[in-house]
Structure 1
Amino acid sequence: MSGIVIVGAGQAGASLAAKLRALGYAGEITMIGEEPVPPYQRPPLSKGYLLGEMELERLYLRAPSYWQEQDVTLKLGKRVTAIDPAARTLTLGDETIAYDQLALTTGSVPRRLPAAIGGALEGVYTVRTLADVDAMAAEFGPHRRLLIVGGGYIGLEAAAVAAKLGLDVTLVEMAPRILQRVAAPETSAWFRGLHAGHGVKILEGTGLDRLLGETRVTGARLSDGTELAVDFVIVGVGIAPATDLAEAAGLAIDNGIRTDAHGRTSDPAIWAAGDCASFPHQGGRLRLESVGNAIDQAEAVAENMLGADKPYQARPWFWSDQYDVKLQIAGLNSGYDRIVTRPGDGDAVSFWYYQGDRLLALDAMNDSRAYMVGKRLIEMGKSPDPAAIADPATDLKALLKA
């Protein structure tokens, strides 16, 4: 077997395989995934699926029959243990697979609590895979006491689900505020208020000293000495790019698998896309953890594997669903020095990030119009007068033509 082999059967891997076929590639495609299920969406795991509002079949990115129809060989529940770039082969258990070109779409892995502070106790979960969510589903009973460690989007989404199901939820964030790494104080304050209104207790500037219990977690001691009784714990302290396989194969690593602008790694026959890959961006390097990037970058790599020679241009966008709120984010806010607030209809609001006079990004809560216009402005390189953005009477669409 040769042709194109894809290691990683998540959003990026599935998008890459589908794009190859859409572009007319007729050679062999083999996609290898560690999980025993076909490629599926991850974002609904911590929302609709955990709430019981979405069935397993609706998680699938494609109907299972699609892969057979497209002549894509799926090897699921399999782990690649080694890559030999010189021989252009990889090891899969006792099987050796040859490739002409290899794509690494290995994604990311959740950061876990050290065993020394109780991270290995029963009842301590992360939210990353279908198996993770299936394992914790039975814990979500009314009045159960849940501790969430980490005030990023994963932690806040889990808090929203738990609160809706009637649990007693406490969230601890070591940083001075939730979402500190990814959002402005205004966005943090907005979501702090949202969760407080649903009964979630948020403790900022508070770390976890250790979890308590013999074999199963029964409590937690916080950095200020407070002890809490808990029934289970969800850890949402970020993810790290899955680079072990690439690193062992001798590929260059730089906050992920280092690629050039086309998605090629330091080995000319190996490519990378999605959460695991870092790529050139505005004079530096960038690694994006998002569905949008996984799709766009994987499709660009598919084109380049077939000779397009087209640099990847990232257009970052993200979203989060909490309670009845849809947060939509466009752009990257790194380096902002000013926030412009724009009220929307009802409870809608958007926060626009500026660096001097340049529009960098925006966070829109229940304001899809602001999001769509802001996203297009950023992609077009346009930066409207902040005063116009702040004025609710301004017709946002007119700014696109200005």
Structure 2
Amino acid sequence: MHANAFAIRRDILRGKAVTFIARAIPAKIAGKIVTYCHDVTPPIPLEAANLVCAEVIMYVMRYRSVDWLPVSCLLALASCAHQDLTPTHHPNRALVAEARSLATSLEAGVWPGLATGNFRVLLVDGDTEELLCFANEPPSGFLRNSYDEKLGCSVATRSRVFDPTFLATFPLDDGISTIVIGTPEATGKSNEEWVVTVLHEHFHQLQFACPNYFQRTLDLGLSNGDQTGMWMLNYPFPYQDEDTADAARELGVSLAEALQADDRDLAESLAKFLTARRSFAATIGAADLRYFDFQAWQEGTARYVERKAAAAWTAHSATRSSENDRLISALNAVDIRQDGRVAFYELGAGEAALLDRVNPAWADGYCEGDLSLHSRFER
């Protein structure tokens, strides 16, 4: 055994750093570690040093031996044996952790299964992107370099690729749906707004996991050959048509009235809403109506979940009232000529909130049937 092996073994098996790194990096086969270590020449970057230390620690903890380690790897270990490997809590990572915790604690009252499934986040921060809470290995181009105890997740980084103002969810190059989001400062949101926006985007991850989601969206016949999904944003809906805009405004007003109706008047208010919806549908073509229904199902329900999460985040009734008031105000001010597709977020959220009153179990079959909320009023 190398003369310094016993001293290094004591260092790498002692202290909190061992527990931290052992969880952060899965064990690799000894041959891969040896090859990597042979390629390392001190001094080395902290990220690389952490990786070497982590892989060797995993091996040593499993086999209780460092006999096989080459001299170059021992030198690499020596170069980082005294590095501070205690995990740090990046403030924006802490907000992601808060969103994940909220999804768990609010699941029963907000949405069934909200805390389940993929919750991978790409945090765009300055010139760096951090991939948080990925399963197994990060995609090509990312360097796994730390573990965040508050998140309970490994973290991988790369140089920035996406715009720091992004607020979107889509598959990365490895095909896994990922929340791509800038910091609260870059996106112009308070910390509280940012956290519930993460939940909005996580709901999209749940939608994308619905059976045959992507094929079903193509089956709507709205993509015009686009395979990238950009048609969902750029579909040529007649937002500027005066009759359509007026009908959309009346649709919003009818939804607001139905949501505020007492139980005695609910049936009448529901009928008025359905009449307003038929009037809106009469101003557009069949494909346009499918697009509206899809946006209400997808973005509207995500906005509904976002608002419910914000209202349920605190026990204060004033907060719940505030979120309801915001929805009612937004519905009474629908303007598709000015807001375009974003107006459908509020109309869809209003439909979802109304469904809570007339069909309380509607969320249980959300992934089933057509990509529309309207049909659920008929069940």
TM-score higher than 0.5:
no
TM-score normalised per structure 2: 0.24
TM-score normalised per structure 1: 0.23
Larger radius of gyration: 2
Bigger share in strand: 1
